[in-house]
């Protein structure tokens, strides 16, 4: 893999639990990156969620002549669920719609990562009563990864 001098690769082991510092939750996937995102997209649509975008970072890197392990993001959500959150805590709009990142690590394992709803609650001061509006991401991600 060709790297620019300013790039560094970290081959650390990923914790499956959301880090209290970063708020990232990581779930090991049983599927390759594209299939993981396909499964998540299908599940999101089946729950009536809107898929706003799918970004193929590694595909875009290849078009630019760069190599990157498989990495794709799905951006999805529901205005009906997200709008009350933004009304209560406007800064949460920086983290909405919800996002999930499927990526392959240096060892070939595939992960599905997302922002923990509890982290978003703390970060933006979201009222506890509105946490269920985004808490479903955990189950969707877990189902997509299996």
Q: What pTM, to 2 d.p., does this model score?
A: 0.86
Model pLDDT, residue 53 = 98
As given in the structure block, the two tokens for residue 140 are 């969707």
Structure-model confidence comparison of residues 104 and 20, the more confident one: 104
What is the structure's pLDDT at 19? 62
Contact 137, 102 (CB under 8 A): no
Q: What is the pLDDT of residues 27-39, one digit of tens each?
A: 999 999 999 999 9
Residue-level pLDDT at 18: 56
What is the rounded CA–CA span in Å between residue 131 and residue 117? 7
Q: At what angle do helices 137-145 and 33-46 cross, to 10 degrees?
A: 130
Cα separations in angstroms, 34 against 2, 48, 70, 116, 123: 23, 21, 8, 22, 30
Cα 95 to Cα 31, 82, 88, 90: the distances in Å are 26, 10, 14, 10
Model confidence over 105-139: pLDDT tens digits? Answer: 999 999 999 999 999 999 999 999 999 999 999 99
128-137 pLDDT tens trace: 999 999 999 9
Find the helix or strand (DSSP H, E) in which 75 lies.
strand 71-77
Residue pointed to by tokens 């300013």:
6
């Amino acid at each position: 893999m060709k790297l620019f001098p300013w790039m560094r690769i970290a081959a650390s082991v990923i914790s499956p639990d959301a880090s209290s510092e970063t708020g990232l939750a990581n779930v090991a996937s049983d599927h390759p990156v594209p299939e993981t995102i396909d499964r998540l997209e299908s599940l999101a649509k089946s729950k009536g969620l809107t898929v706003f975008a799918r970004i193929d970072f590694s595909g875009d890197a290849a078009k630019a002549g760069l190599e990157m392990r498989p990495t794709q993001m799905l951006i999805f959500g529901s205005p009906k669920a997200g709008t009350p959150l933004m009304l209560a805590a406007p800064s949460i709009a920086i983290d909405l719609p919800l996002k999930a990142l499927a990526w392959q690590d240096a060892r070939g394992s595939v992960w599905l990562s997302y922002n923990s709803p509890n982290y978003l609650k703390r970060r933006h001061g979201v009222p506890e009563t509105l946490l269920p509006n985004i808490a479903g991401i955990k189950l969707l991600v877990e189902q997509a990864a299996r």
